[in-house]
Chains A and B, each alone.
Chain A
């Protein structure tokens, strides 16, 4: 019976689990399962292959090559984010997670931060990967490399990736069902391109609510006051509102 005797632990003054420790645990959960590891490996491979592959068909421009990684990042990372939230319900691990930390809002916050940080890291990583690829393409094809990288565009592009992950987190929290959240996330851009063609009303709606379109000025640098307002409305609609409603749903949900 080593380790179960004694009352020393019981007599200690216990404080709530520090938030940074919940962060460590939830960050670990992003990639500690077989599927998580596979997703992470596929994502890394796609980022590398995307950046390198584009190098064969385009001029050695750092910014163009770096942003090529946006496709796999904006498609797969939100899916990973969705799974991070919904996995607790599909595998019923919420039972242990919320027994460990009954303050469910803290658990959600601890899930959101690492997912957003991963999007940030993946974006910066692809910019780094693009540097040697740019140099290699320039050397192989014998044309001068264009090293110009607009810092604001890089910031805007990184921000876009983080926003897409945030949308995934919000949908996952609201729906608590991976297939539903993934479908809504992936079908969204197509849906809005259809809505945008449905006359003036459709065009107005898409102009204000299509997150994929309203983030575009972040990268192109055309962020005017009007564009910022559109982005804010779309972000509220797809991120703030579903995240808040989902948090209320999780807080009230019976775990079983």
Chain B
């Protein structure tokens, strides 16, 4: 449902992505794992048409994101929980998106419930939210249109341990209902617990991909991750 086909991106003379290829199928969770600055966010922005690939192509549901009709109803995205107007309430953020997608106001209540934001919290402006609350708001927005595909960039950032456990359950449920989930993280532990398939990226290159068992076969998953990314952890930021 998601396909990266030899995607490269040169940005200001730096190769942010170098020949990245991988695919995400329905009913599965793919963990996009790599140190900060490895190119995860760049790849996800290219996938969603916010940035252009220098070469190669990224498609979702068989087409470039920008060519889908009403893409946000089919692909839910949480890219950056901080990219919000601080003076807008959480409820208003969701109402705007629901309006654009033609969803009823009751759907806003449903997703607020789903992510555990109270009515009172939803009426406060986002500037006063903790990072965890902003992540929940971003997840609520991604889930509004009941999309078939979910693209989540570091969704666990700022969540407390209960929140992380809750997120894990949510992601498993989404995959169990047939959705494709692409989840980026720089934390191995977080990805390992929920992903069926792991794509390790460092300095813009896919270093390894496979199931957790396959990747950890020789030295254990953590050793593999550390070794593969050791040279890349101070890569392009």
A147 within 8 A of B: no
A159 within 8 A of B: no
B50 within 8 A of A: yes
Interface string of A7-24 (1 = CB under 8 A from B): 101100011110001101
Is A9 a contact partner of B146 (Cβ separation < 8 A)?
yes
Is A33 a contact partner of B83 (Cβ separation < 8 A)?
no
Among B51, B69, B72, B96, point to the contact of A255 (Cβ < 8 A): B51
Cα–Cα, bound, A194→B52 (Å)? 44
Chain B interface bracket (under 10, 10 to 19, 20 to 34, 35 or more): 35 or more
Interface string of A217-256 (1 = CB under 8 A from B): 0000000000000000000000000000000000000111
Q: Which residues of A contact B100 (CB under 8 A)?
A: 17, 21-22, 25, 100-101
Is A14 a contact partner of B66 (Cβ separation < 8 A)?
no
Chain A interface bracket (under 10, 10 to 19, 20 to 34, 35 or more): 35 or more
Cα–Cα, bound, A6→B176 (Å)? 11
Closest to B73 in A: A14
Among A4, A15, A92, point to the contact of B174 (Cβ < 8 A): A4
Interface string of B36-77 (1 = CB under 8 A from A): 000001000100111110000000000001100111111001
| 24 A-B pairs with C-beta separation under 8 A | A3-B107, A3-B114, A3-B146, A4-B114, A10-B74, A14-B70, A16-B69, A17-B70, A25-B99, A28-B99, A29-B96, A91-B83, A95-B79, A96-B83, A96-B97, A98-B50, A99-B71, A100-B72, A100-B100, A100-B101, A102-B71, A254-B45, A254-B52, A255-B50
Given A33-B125, A254-B50, 10 other A-B residues pairs in contact with their CB atoms under 8 A? A25-B100, A92-B80, A93-B83, A95-B79, A99-B50, A99-B71, A100-B100, A254-B11, A254-B52, A255-B51
